């Protein structure tokens, strides 16, 4: 069981993550989009979306810090564990709160605004459920575990983090995770499930963060013959060419 959960599942999920993205990029560039619903509704989006996304950027940064940087490294630069802990909480709690608040607004908006709700696919709903649970568990772990020492103290930098890194060293140490509190276990396993879903959901838009915009010239020129095998021509209507249909509500 330990091996299954903390070795096999992570590797399978990561493999799906990588191969899935290659597949999606290769075969579905057209579907690779944020699928924005701003056209339908923008009052709530204007608050919720930046809250969520900027919060999320903070959360990702926090995870990089907590998971990828070993404690020995922070010790080496003279950062005491308690100082690290304070930094993590001071940065993590606002980021987590913003994420959660943003997500709440966005989910409410999605449910309450008719057009946005009709544009929500089953795929989206499943993804939101997993994403929301992962975030909620993560915040629970931080608040309940680290802040209030709920159910005993747990140092994830001695357990979760080395386990996570061990996956990438290809020398997985499942036992580290088997001893972690349930909250962390669930958070980790669901996060891997989310990774596996990632390439097949709208989450792919994360990987098109347009950093190249900063350096590229404003006006792009392209020659007509740059994509010789581009596919158009005489064939059945493609996605995006469906006729409008009335779905009465």
Interface contacts to another protein, rule CB under 8 A: 27-42, 45-46, 49-50, 52-54, 114-115, 118-119, 205, 208, 210, 212-214, 216, 218-249
Closest approach of Cβ 207 to another protein, in Å? 10
Helix residue ranges per DSSP H, 28-113: 43-63, 71-76, 81-112
Nearer to another protein, 46 or 155 (CB): 46
Q: Does residue 189 contact residue 7 with C-beta atoms inside 8 Å?
A: no
Q: Does residue 16 contact residue 196 with C-beta atoms inside 8 Å?
A: yes
Nearer to another protein, 148 or 213 (CB): 213
Q: Give the integer Cα–Cα distance in Å for 176 and 174.
A: 5
Closest approach of Cβ 196 to another protein, in Å? 21
Q: Does residue 154 contact residue 145 with C-beta atoms inside 8 Å?
A: yes
Nearer to another protein, 42 or 158 (CB): 42
Nearer to another protein, 78 or 240 (CB): 240
Nearer to another protein, 82 or 239 (CB): 239
Closest approach of Cβ 139 to another protein, in Å? 20
| 245 φ/ψ angles, rounded to the nearest 5 degrees | -130, 145
Closest approach of Cβ 245 to another protein, in Å? 7
Give the tokens for residue 109. Answer: 């908006």
Closest approach of Cβ 123 to another protein, in Å? 13
Q: Give the integer Cα–Cα distance in Å for 6 and 8.
A: 6
Instruction: Report the candidate in 186, 137, 167, 181 with the shortest Cα–Cα distance to residue 10.
Output: 167
């Amino acid at each position: 069981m330990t091996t299954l959960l903390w070795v096999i599942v992570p590797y399978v999920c990561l493999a799906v993550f990588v191969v899935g993205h290659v597949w999606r990029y290769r075969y579905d560039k057209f579907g690779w989009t944020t699928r924005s619903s701003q056209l339908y509704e923008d009052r709530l989006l204007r608050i919720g979306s930046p809250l969520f996304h900027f919060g999320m950027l903070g959360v990702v940064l926090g995870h990089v810090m907590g998971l990828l940087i070993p404690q020995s490294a922070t010790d080496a630069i003279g950062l005491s564990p308690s100082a690290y802990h304070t930094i993590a909480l001071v940065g993590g709690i606002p980021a987590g709160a913003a994420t959660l608040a943003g997500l709440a607004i966005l989910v409410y908006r999605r449910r309450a605004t008719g057009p946005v709700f009709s544009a929500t696919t089953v795929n989206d709903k499943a993804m939101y459920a997993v994403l929301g649970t992962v975030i909620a568990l993560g915040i629970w772990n931080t608040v309940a575990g680290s802040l209030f020492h709920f159910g005993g103290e747990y140092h994830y930098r001695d357990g979760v983090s080395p386990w996570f890194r061990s996956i990438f060293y290809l020398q997985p140490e499942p036992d580290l995770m088997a001893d972690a509190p349930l909250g962390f276990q669930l958070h980790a396993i669901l996060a891997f499930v989310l990774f596996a879903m990632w390439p097949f959901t709208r989450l792919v838009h994360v990987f098109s963060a347009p950093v190249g915009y900063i350096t590229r010239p404003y006006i792009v020129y392209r020659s007509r013959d740059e994509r010789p095998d581009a596919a158009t021509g005489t064939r059945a209507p493609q996605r995006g060419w469906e006729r409008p249909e009335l779905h009465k509500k």
